[in-house]
Amino acid sequence: MKVLCIGDIMGEPGRRAVARAVPRLVAQRQVDVVIGNGENVAGGFGITPELAEELFDMGLAVITTGNHAWDKKEALDYFSRQPRLLRPANYPAGVPGNGSVVVESAGGERLAVLQLMGRAYMPTIDCPFQTAKREVARLKRETLAVIVDMHAEATSEKMAMGHYLDGDVTAVVGTHTHVQTADEQILPKGTAYITDIGMTGPLHSVIGVKKELAIEKFLTAMPRRFEVASGPSVFCAVLVELDARLGKAIAMDRIRILD
Amino acid sequence: MKVLCIGDIMGEPGRRAVARAVPRLVAQRQVDVVIGNGENVAGGFGITPELAEELFDMGLAVITTGNHAWDKKEALDYFSRQPRLLRPANYPAGVPGNGSVVVESAGGERLAVLQLMGRAYMPTIDCPFQTAKREVARLKRETLAVIVDMHAEATSEKMAMGHYLDGDVTAVVGTHTHVQTADEQILPKGTAYITDIGMTGPLHSVIGVKKELAIEKFLTAMPRRFEVASGPSVFCAVLVELDARLGKAIAMDRIRILD
Amino acid sequence: MKVLCIGDIMGEPGRRAVARAVPRLVAQRQVDVVIGNGENVAGGFGITPELAEELFDMGLAVITTGNHAWDKKEALDYFSRQPRLLRPANYPAGVPGNGSVVVESAGGERLAVLQLMGRAYMPTIDCPFQTAKREVARLKRETLAVIVDMHAEATSEKMAMGHYLDGDVTAVVGTHTHVQTADEQILPKGTAYITDIGMTGPLHSVIGVKKELAIEKFLTAMPRRFEVASGPSVFCAVLVELDARLGKAIAMDRIRILD
Amino acid sequence: MKVLCIGDIMGEPGRRAVARAVPRLVAQRQVDVVIGNGENVAGGFGITPELAEELFDMGLAVITTGNHAWDKKEALDYFSRQPRLLRPANYPAGVPGNGSVVVESAGGERLAVLQLMGRAYMPTIDCPFQTAKREVARLKRETLAVIVDMHAEATSEKMAMGHYLDGDVTAVVGTHTHVQTADEQILPKGTAYITDIGMTGPLHSVIGVKKELAIEKFLTAMPRRFEVASGPSVFCAVLVELDARLGKAIAMDRIRILD
Ligand SMILES: [Fe+2]
Ligand SMILES: [Fe+2]
Ligand SMILES: [Fe+2]
Ligand SMILES: [Fe+2]
Ligand SMILES: [Fe+2]
Ligand SMILES: [Fe+2]
Ligand SMILES: [Fe+2]
Ligand SMILES: [Fe+2]
């Protein structure tokens, strides 16, 4: 089974880059399942039901999110209704939505996707490590093919999660920093890992935002309404090849396509 | 001129990787100047005069540091005496040491190295952007070839600095997260840029630390004495090719060598 | 000279409490100048020109603010036009508004008010200590009576400022935490000091916010639109008695009035 | 039943102030049980078995701690052995020590003490609110008299805890900021509350630390070995009067004694 995992999709430029790249990659590389992080599709802040449907229509089977999950109030109900739109599983009990889902490929193989969020420099929620152990055990009763989206800021927390789940899950892929890392690898016990898949969105920007606005924010510390940048885009993803029956990663390929 | 910039060198494994890789790269790729980040050479925490000399002997012309600059008390005086050992230039007035230096290549070309540190999730010091403008203007009276080590956690602050100095300096290279990013590029106005060069140190680790200790820290939130991991190493660097007379970047090559 | 310093005034309940308490206190205690922190008067978030005028009409000579200064866009211009509405002086160069002002009492005595903001767990701006030394020296050319509003979260940063300016200014009064502290004192070199004046606003609340909303925020980590609580109010202030000619504090009285 | 709750006891000056004040207060005010926060008794950083015994000998029945619980390695075992030395109950499973204890007064009445720690600007541990509900329910099977030490930085998190447990426990008393607040009150449903009891330790200091060292730290952002200040002390506590059978608070008196 081949799973294409797309990093944080940023606004309209990000959605367009997905629309262009996904069909081509699916065809060329025999992709079975596509997942992507949609926490920034709505103008950089959150996701709406319409935009989620648009991404599903482009071929995404599962959309993960993160700290921006709740930016659009109109999505709150939708999180409860749409099991393939995930929010971090380590949000406390009572928070709407689901943190994991099991989907099936066209070939009938099952893939579990689990979303976690780190806590270093991030919202203070339940422990992602405790949640991971519990949720992975539960999901593995349904399938051994488990991909974890670890949405976090600190490289240390993401790498710790990779090693913590090494041998237990198929892959741990990081999101949130909007910059692709070059450390894709198969960890010692067999789990595929990358610290951050990177953003899919405008290239000449500050993590997707118009650079002038971001710079001004750092210079003045005053609140600034951020806007998604324009210009050429970058599409960032990893392709995870795995044995779905054993849940074992075979390879992780890093993908970075400029317009 | 070709400048090899090495990312955070982690403990003894990092120093060994430098000793192995630098002579080979200098010879094979005609490197003129080598610089590297030494904030973690002393068992992961700081630097000592002896270890700095060891790195200079291995061919480093300039050592940059960061938030770990002050971990070893025995280095405090040395920072004041050794102009080629830098600490972030945006530490407030009165802090020992220097934030920039101009060195000369064997061919007689001058290169300025400026060290800055971000403030997002980092120690609260003077503004790196204000400091950058002032220091870059000063350094450019000596040479137009200026490389900036932007030691920071947040990808947004590093990219903002890249764009802020774009066209003004030769290159902005990020350090501190210990994970190499895959976004090396020439920015629109000509400055070479990478968000993080990545760590030089033990591969199977959590940013250089023994993974068991790092995981336990995340699971318990209790203080833990960290130890540098062992096993195979990774050497992370970028090679910046530049026109020293014009201060213009020609190319940035990302280097990641596994043992 | 007697100066009444009111803590963070929270929404409509806070404004009503000011309207009730100030005339009575001015009369009973022969208050010469009234100042107050207005960063939360507009429904808990920021200040508008209309609400600032309302506070000036109630007898405030100077309004200080803090991290909420910029919450209302309609106030941005007003900060530049109205010299008696302050924002922290240690915002970087280029930020609109003023960080200090000199006013005159009915009796013709001059009082300088300087606003600073701490950086621990707060927006990352210029150093309040460096700014304090520079601004205090400048203001003391106009009058020796100087009151500093140190808007900060960490008790350590506020106490450090108190001792840093001890003997140099008349009083350092803390704001921002919305809870009055019981440590009013004359520091060893003569400066009057309190860590926090406390909030003027709804008593049965979480720092002025409806308690149910605040609790839910802690339980879920989801964004919540905060609303100002209702019910009985508390009025928090300190009365600083000083020798305006010498700039020396004579006494600091803590005031906490329940509806 | 009358319970004397002492705030963070800072170093040797704090211990001496306890030794002086406690016997007198116990006698004069008929105190039944004394508890105190001991996280800073060992030179400002943590607690040792010897110093804990010293405090027990001075009459403390229970010692609470907080983020500094683990500063002294020699106390790790002792936390497991001594049930009357508490660490926050919301540390994750597997962490040594206990987060609550039930003690008996000389008159045979039982009092439960529960220690929690906030997470805003503090170590990232389990949710104090979830833990509170679970632990309070458990403790109330043993006694209805329950005092909660909420060790936290943010006033909002402490007030939210007060209201969250209002009517459920006898008292919620805050510690950690080292500055006594003036907001002692009986909340609407009957729980006694104060945001911070305040430090017991050297008065002319920055939260107990030598002021010169604290100021230098803010000015330079360099690591500084902190030392406990000397000079006159302040003793901070609250006296909670309660009906032990009903678990109802009758009164909370704030105590602040200068040398
Ligand atoms: Fe994102
Ligand atoms: Fe995110
Ligand atoms: Fe480092
Ligand atoms: Fe660093
Ligand atoms: Fe406020
Ligand atoms: Fe504030
Ligand atoms: Fe403490
Ligand atoms: Fe503490």
Q: Which residues of C152-181 are buried (b: 16+ CB within 10 A; e: fewer)?
A: bbbbbbbbbbbbbbbebbbbbbbbbbbbbb
For a pLDDT cut of 90, what percent of chain A falls above it?
98
Q: At what angle do helices D11-29 and D49-57 cross, to 10 degrees?
A: 20
The average pLDDT across D145-161 equals 98
Closest CA to D42 of D12, D18, D17, D70: D12
CA of B136 to the centre of ligand 2 (A): 33
Is C220 within 8 Å of A124 when comparing Cβ atoms?
A: no
Measured on CA atoms in the order C247, C253, C259, D2, is the torsion positive or negative? positive
HEC-encoded secondary structure of A195-214: CCCCCEEECCCECCECHHHH
d(CA A68, CA A217): 19
pLDDT (0 to 100) of residue C58? 98
pLDDT tens digits, B186-237: 999 999 999 999 999 999 999 999 999 999 999 999 988 899 999 999 999 9
D153 touching chain C per CB within 8 A:
yes
Question: What residue type is C159 in one-letter code?
Answer: M
Q: Name the band, by pLDDT with cuts 50, 70 and 90, for residue D224.
A: confident
The average pLDDT across C174-179 equals 98
Give me chain B's average pLDDT, please. Answer: 97
pLDDT (0 to 100) of residue A224? 83
Residue of C133, C151, C168, C183 for testing the chain D interface, max D β-carbons within 10 Å = C183
The average pLDDT across B86-112 equals 97
Q: Name the band, by pLDDT with cuts 50, 70 and 90, for residue D42.
A: very high
pLDDT (0 to 100) of residue A259? 85
Give me chain A's average pLDDT, please. Answer: 97
Active-site residue, selected from the candidate residues A2, A15, A68, A210 = A68
Give me chain D's average pLDDT, please. Answer: 97
A221 touching chain C per CB within 8 A:
yes
Is the confidence at residue B259, as pLDDT, over 90? Answer: no
pLDDT (0 to 100) of residue D256? 98
- What chain D residue is nearest to C216 in terms of C-alpha separation? D160
The average pLDDT across B50-67 equals 98
Residue of A119, A125, A222 for testing the chain C interface, max C β-carbons within 10 Å = A222
Whether residue D151 contacts residue D115, with contact meaning beta carbons closer than 8 Å, is answered with: yes
Measured on CA atoms in the order A170, A175, A178, A182, is the torsion positive or negative? negative
Is the confidence at residue B252, as pLDDT, over 90? Answer: yes
| Terminal-residue alpha carbon distance, chain C | 28
pLDDT (0 to 100) of residue C259? 85
Annotated catalytic, A68?
Answer: yes
d(CA B203, CA A186): 12
Is B92 within 8 Å of C124 when comparing Cβ atoms?
A: no
Is C254 within 8 Å of D182 when comparing Cβ atoms?
A: yes
Is the confidence at residue A238, as pLDDT, over 90? Answer: yes
pLDDT (0 to 100) of residue C131? 98
Q: Name the band, by pLDDT with cuts 50, 70 and 90, for residue D200.
A: very high
SS3 category, B140: coil
The average pLDDT across C70-77 equals 96
The average pLDDT across B12-31 equals 98
CB contacts, 8 Å: D206 with chain C: 156, 159-160, 163
Is the confidence at residue B82, as pLDDT, over 90? Answer: yes
Quote the strand ranges of A118-188, DSSP E: 146-151, 171-175, 185-186
β-sheet bridge partners, residue C258: C234
pLDDT (0 to 100) of residue C229? 98
SS3 category, D26: helix
Query: Could you tell me what percentage of chain C is helix, strand and coil, using 3-state DSSP and rounding each to the nearest 5?
Result: 25, 30, 45
pLDDT (0 to 100) of residue A16? 98
Is the confidence at residue A156, as pLDDT, over 90? Answer: yes
Q: At what angle do helices A211-220 and B155-165 cross, to 10 degrees?
A: 100
CA of B176 to the centre of ligand 4 (A): 4
CB contacts, 8 Å: B131 with chain D: none
pLDDT (0 to 100) of residue D228? 98
Is the confidence at residue D195, as pLDDT, over 90? Answer: yes
CB contacts, 8 Å: A256 with chain B: 182
Is D206 within 8 Å of C180 when comparing Cβ atoms?
A: no
Contact residues, A window 93-112, toward D, CB-based 8 Å cutoff: 93
Is the confidence at residue C224, as pLDDT, over 90? Answer: no
Residue D189: how many other CB atoms lie within 10 Å? 10
Is B177 within 8 Å of A164 when comparing Cβ atoms?
A: no
The average pLDDT across B60-70 equals 98
Strands of the sheet with A110-117, listed across from one edge? A100-104, A110-117, A146-151, A171-175, A192-194, A185-186
D98 is in an annotated binding site: no
CA distance A125 to chain B (A): 13
CA of D177 to the centre of ligand 8 (A): 7
Q: Which of A121, A187, A218 sits opposite B157 (nearest CB)?
A: A218
Q: Which of B93, B120, B127 sits opposite C126 (nearest CB)?
A: B127
Whether residue A98 contacts residue A86, with contact meaning beta carbons closer than 8 Å, is answered with: yes
Domains (ranges, CATH) in chain B?
2-258 (3.60.21.10)
With a cut of 0.95, is the ipTM above it? yes
Active-site residue, selected from the candidate residues D68, D87, D158, D210 = D68
pLDDT (0 to 100) of residue B256? 98
- Subunits next to D (3 or more Cβ pairs <8 Å) are A, B, C
CA distance D95 to chain B (A): 6
- What chain A residue is nearest to C95 in terms of C-alpha separation? A220
Active-site residue, selected from the candidate residues B2, B15, B68, B119 = B68
pTM (global) more than 0.80 = yes
Question: Which ligand places an atom closest to the C-alpha of C198?
Answer: 5
D124 touching chain A per CB within 8 A:
yes
B163 is in an annotated binding site: no
